[in-house]
Structure 1
Amino acid sequence: MRLGELTDPDDRTLRNPRKIIRRTSVQLTADEYKFFLPSHKADVNFEGNTIVVLRKPTCFEPHALFVAYLASRDRRFPFSSPLWLKADGTIPTRTFFINRLRRFFGRDVAGQSMRAGGATALASSAVAPSLIQAIGHWSSATFQIYIRKHPVMLQALLYGRSARAPDERVQLPFYAPTT
C-alpha cells in the first residue's frame, strides 16, 4: 500500500471522502484480516481492491497488532466510519505519519521508504520481479529503482534466488509465496 492510501493529504483541498478506507469493510479471521481499499493510484477501472494480510509466525505479528488496534479504535470511536484514526478521532495526515515513522527510524525516512523496503524485502527473498510488480501494484518496472542496490538484492533479481542457503526460508508477514 502507498502512504497516501493510509492517510489524508496535508492539503485539505485535496482530501476525498470516497478514498477513505471504512471500518465496516474489515473482515477478520484467525488466519488473516482484510479490508477494502476503495481507490488507489494504479486503479484504472476505479474498482478498488481488497487488501489481505495473512497471519504468519514472525517476530512482528501484524495480525495481533491489528486486532489490538481495532479493539482500541472501536472502544474509543464506535460510530466513526474511517478505519484509520488517531487518538483524537481524526484521520492521520501524511505529515503526522511521516513524523511518527521518523521517531523510530530516523530523519531519512520518506514517503516511498515503506514501498522501497517492501520491494527490497521481496527481492532479497528471490521473489520474481513480475510478482514484486504485481504485489506492489506497480504500473511499470519503476519499482526496480527503489530496490536498494546491494549485491545480494541484485543477485536475487538477476538469478531469481536468494543468497541464503537453499533450505533457509524467509517468512514475510505480508506475502505468502506459493510453492
Structure 2
Amino acid sequence: MSHHIKPSSVDTYLSGICQQLEPYYPAVRDARKSPIVHRTLEGCKRLRGSPTSRKRALTVDDLRTVVNHYKASVSHNDLLFVAMLLTGFFGLMRLGELTTPDDITLLNPRKITSRSSVKITDGDYSFFLPGHKADRFFEGNTILIRSNISTDINPVLHFRAYINSRDNTFPLSSELWLTSDGKVPTRSFFMQRLRFFFATNVGGQSMRAGGATLLAELGVAPHLIQATGRWASQTFQIYIRKNPVLLQALIYANPSSFKSFFK
C-alpha cells in the first residue's frame, strides 16, 4: 500500500469512495474510521510519506529587482504585473485572488474584483475583494494597502500608474485587473513573468508568505497578520508552523505577542 501513490492521496480517495457508497451502505464511514484503517494509514504516512515542498517567501530585495527592471517601462502589461506583485505582497493576497484560472471551466465570475470598488489617496489604495478561498459565503473583504514607510518601495505609486493606463485603455470595462488585450489576467500570465526573475522555488504563494514575513519582522502581532491575510484561526496556526521563516520572524520580532497568540 502507498508504493505507487502518496498516503495523503489514499486518504482523499477513501473519503471520495465513502461519499459514493454512503447512499447504498450507510455504515461505510464507520468502516472508514475503524482503528485498523486509521492505523494502516498512519503507518503508511510514516513509511512512505514525503516532505511538503514549499515555495520560498519573496523578500523586499526581490520586489526591488522587479521594480527596478520595469522602472522605465510604459507597457500596460508591465505596469499590470508590477501592480499585481506589490498588491499581492503588501496585501497578503493569494494569486487566485488576483488572477483567473487557466482552465476557463473553473472561472467563477463572482470572484472578479471590480474597478468601481477602487479608492485611491496619496497615502493608500483599497478595493473590495468579493470572494476568496476562506470566504465560503461570499461576504467579501476590503483590501487596504498603504504607502510602506518600512521600505523604499511605494505600492501606491505603482498601482496608480497601472490604474491610469487601465482607465485610458479600457474606460468602459468593469474589471479591475486587465491585460493589454482587455482580458482578466490568468495564472499563467503572472507566473510566466515571475519565472523571468526567479527560479521554480518561487511561486504564487510566495507573495503572501513574503508579506506575512515582513510584517512579522516589523513586530506586527500574529493576530493582526492573521486578520490582514484573511486566515481562519486554525489555518493560520498550521500555516505558521509549516513556514519556518515566518515562524522565526514571529518568535524573534515579537516574542510576547507570539506566546500569547498560542495560549
Using the alignment, how far apart are the partners of 1:150 and 1:142 within structure 2? 11
The corresponding residue for 2:121 is 29
Cα-to-partner distance string for 1:51-84 (whole Å, 9 max, x where unaligned):
1111234411111111110111111111111110
Q: 1:149 to 1:121 in 2, by over 3 A?
A: closer
Give how far 1:117 is off: 0.9
Match among 143, 146, 160 for residue 239 of structure 2? 143
The corresponding residue for 2:130 is 38
Report the secondary structure of 1:142's partner residue.
Answer: helix
Q: 1:87 to 1:153 in 2, by over 3 A?
A: same
Cα-to-partner distance string for 1:70-113 (whole Å, 9 max, x where unaligned):
11111111111111011221111112111211212333211211
Structure 1 residue identity aligned to 2:186: T
Q: 1:159 to 1:105 in 2, by over 3 A?
A: farther
Cα-to-partner distance string for 1:12-57 (whole Å, 9 max, x where unaligned):
1010111100111111122221111111112244211111111234
Q: 1:20 to 1:157 in 2, by over 3 A?
A: same
Structure 1 residue identity aligned to 2:221: A
Q: Does 1:12 align with 2:108?
A: no
Give how far 1:128 is off: 1.9
Report the secondary structure of 1:155's partner residue.
Answer: helix
Match among 214, 219, 229 for residue 121 of structure 1? 214
Give how far 1:142 is off: 2.3
Structure 2 residue identity aligned to 1:114: M
| TM-score (ref. length: structure 2) | 0.56
Identity %: 53
Q: 1:149 to 1:60 in 2, by over 3 A?
A: closer
Using the alignment, how far apart are the partners of 1:114 and 1:26 within structure 2? 21
Using the alignment, how far apart are the partners of 2:229 and 2:249 within structure 1? 21
Structure 2 residue identity aligned to 1:38: P
Query: Which shows bigger deviation, 3-12 or 79-88?
Result: 79-88
Using the alignment, how far apart are the partners of 2:111 and 2:96 within structure 1? 10
Runs of 5+ consecutive residues of structure 1 not aligned to the other structure: 162-179
| TM-score (ref. length: structure 1) | 0.80
Highest CA radius of gyration, 1 or 2?
2
Runs of 5+ consecutive residues of structure 2 not aligned to the other structure: 1-92, 259-263
User: Residues 34 and 51 of structure 1 are in contact (CA less than 8 Å); yes or no, is this contact kept in structure 2?
Assistant: yes
Using the alignment, how far apart are the partners of 1:27 and 1:37 within structure 2? 13
Measured on the aligned residues, the alpha-carbon RMSD in Å equals: 2.1
Report the secondary structure of 1:148's partner residue.
Answer: helix
Q: How does 1:90-109 map to 2 (within 5 A)?
A: 90-109=183-202
Q: Does 1:62 align with 2:164?
A: no
Using the alignment, how far apart are the partners of 1:156 and 1:76 within structure 2? 44
Q: 1:38 to 1:23 in 2, by over 3 A?
A: same
The corresponding residue for 2:253 is 156
The corresponding residue for 2:21 is none
Deviant stretches of 4+, over 3 Å? 149-154, 157-161
